[in-house]
Amino acid sequence: MAEPVLNILGISGSLRKASYNTAALRACASLLPSGMKLSFADIGDLPMYNQDVFDSGIPAPVRRFEAELRAADAVLIASPEYNFSIPPVLKNAIDWVSKLPNQPWQDKPAAIFSASQGPMGGARVQYDLRKVLGQLWCHILPKPEVFIGAAQTKIDARGQITDETTRKFLTDLLAGFKPWILRMKAKA
Ligand SMILES: Cc1cc2nc3c(=O)[nH]c(=O)nc-3n(C[C@H](O)[C@H](O)[C@H](O)COP(=O)(O)O)c2cc1C
């Protein structure tokens, strides 16, 4: 019998076309273990969260993101660090759906990594993501942690990962992610 496919929703915390995080996230599609499929969310068109907007009707882009999140078996987030923390576009997307009834982060398995042009690879954003998503009962894979420092030397202008060590780190992350998803789904 064919192995059931785990659908992973990829979310990038960067909107820019030449984003290293988006490039590395897209590259993950070819590094996945068998039985996993990666699609990509677009969170750039969500309006800024405003309770008044929420009360007058959930905007269509929020509904679309909510549906993608609910349909996904798990979430893979690649994000830059902005001033030691979560970029507003990503925090905004997290916040919008967190306010919906039966909020969709609940019991969602997730894995995160970060890329930065600085030497630390955006390490600090990961701990803020763990804090924020953890209190929404989203289950983030504890290890391995992947920080892509000096990303401009490891990902080329075409968005290809040119650094073998980086490919290996991401491959290991995704290999660990699969049993984590199955384990978290079994407990949910
Ligand atoms: C507002 C802002 C704040 C930033 N703060 C940090 C930071 O705290 N740590 C860091 O490593 N890089 C920081 N950077 C630099 C980003 O790591 C760099 O721009 C990176 O390429 C962004 O990711 P992207 O290529 O996926 O867009 C910051 C960039 C911006 C625009």
List, as one string, the DSSP characters of 122-148.
Answer: THHHHHHHHHHHHTTT-EE--S---EE
Distance (Å, whole) CA 123 – CA 78: 12
pLDDT band at residue 187 using 50, 70 and 90 as cut-offs:
confident
* Residue with CA at minimum distance from ligand 1 atom 16: 116
Instruction: List ligand 1's pocket residues with C-beta within 6 A.
Output: 14, 16, 19-21, 80-84, 115-118, 120, 122
79 and 13 in contact (C-beta within 8 Å)? yes
pLDDT at 29 over 90: yes
Closest CA to 13 of 108, 63, 88, 119: 88
CA separation for the pair 31, 90 (Å, rounded) = 24
Q: Give the number of other Cβ atoms within 10 Å of residue 125's Cβ.
A: 26
- What number is the average pLDDT over the span 147-175? 98
What is residue 4's predicted lDDT score, i.e. its pLDDT? 86
Indicate the top mutation candidate among 83, 152, 156 to test ligand 1's pocket, ranked by most ligand atoms within 8 A of CB. 83
Place 170 in a pLDDT band, splitting at 50, 70 and 90: very high
**Residues 114, 81 contacting (CB under 8 angstroms):** yes
pLDDT value for 134: 98
Give the Å distance between the CA of 92 and the centre of ligand 1. Answer: 17
Q: Which atom of ligand 1 is nearest to the CA of 152?
A: 21
DSSP 49-65: P-HHHHHH---HHHHHH
Which residue has the CA at smallest separation from atom 28 of ligand 1? 82
- Annotated domain spans of the chain: 6-187
Could you give the CA distance from residue 65 to residue 45 in angstroms, rounded to a whole number? Answer: 10
Fold assignment, 6-187: Rossmann fold (3.40.50)
Mean local confidence (pLDDT), 162-167: 98
pLDDT digits (tens, 9 = 90+) for 61-108: 999 999 999 999 999 999 999 999 999 999 999 999 999 999 999 999
